[in-house]
Amino acid sequence: MGEEVLAAVRGGVLEVTINRPEARNAMTKAAAEAIAAAMNRLDAEDDLRCAILSGAGGTFCAGMDLKGFLRGELPVDARGGFGGITTWTPNKPVIAAVDGHALAGGMELALACDLIVANVDARFGIPEAKRGLVAAGGGLVQLPRLLPRPLAMELALTGEAIGAMRAFELGLINRVTEGPAIEAARDLAEMIVANGPLAVAASKAIVRDSWLWPVEDINTHQNPYVAHVFTSEDAKEGARAFAEKRKPEWKGC
């Protein structure tokens, strides 16, 4: 058996691949910890601007490895939770590239990412109730924040899956592609990499955190996220590049 998670760098993007195709990339503890380690690397290396998370062999992730569960193993990382990323997120963006099935913990893993692109034949669902389990990796919390409550209830209580186009119509995913999801994810990543890294990280953090902020306190909460961006060299470079009609050269400071 080879490595359960592969990582490669392509144009400032860390491509992380769950590599258990023989098990439809069902999540193990080793895989969860390897994904968490890859996300630590994403934050630690300045040359990396974002990550793509995908699955090998034409499927994303079929959820928890049930054989491991029966042995008493939980596919979680101490900080990142299920799949290494559902209870913690890196500072930089992560794109889920979904082919095939993103079911149970696999859907929760996709929802934990910041953007999702999917092949037109991909399927999404949280079928835990069908197995006497509960979608405790974030699905039951995230879906009511992303969907009207009755739709979130339907997915949770019936356990039925939906296709990529339906997920797109509901606003759960960003793009649907006829080809491999990784290609569409790379296009999206390229646009992110072209932008100022400090601005991207601050924007992600505000979008992720601001749903908790009272309207009257938005500026108070937001200022710590953005103050260093407006005084950065990148902010000056962005303005100069715009005035000079050229591409900016970001320094990340």
- Annotated active-site positions, please? 108, 128
Q: Which residues pair with 77 in a beta bridge?
A: 81
The residue among 174, 53, 164 whose CA lies nearest residue 116 is: 174
CB count within 10 Å of CB 206 equals: 15
Angle at Cα 77 formed by Cα 158 and Cα 13, nearest 5°?
Answer: 90
C-alpha–C-alpha distance, residues 172 and 149, integer Å = 14
Quote the CA–CA distance of 39 and 14 in Å, as a whole number. Answer: 9
Residue 27 is classified by DSSP as B
Residue whose structure tokens are 């339907």 = 154
Which amino acid makes up residue 97? A
Question: For residue 8, what is the enclosing H or E element?
Answer: strand 5-10
Rounded-to-integer distance, Cα 96 and Cα 188, Å: 11
Q: What sections of 159-247 are H helices per DSSP?
A: 164-169, 181-193, 197-209, 218-230, 233-243
CA–CA gap between residue 106 and residue 103 (Å, rounded): 5
In this structure, are residues 99 and 59 in contact, taking their beta carbons and an 8 Å threshold?
A: yes
Angle between helical axes of 105-112 and 139-146 (0-180°, round to 10):
50
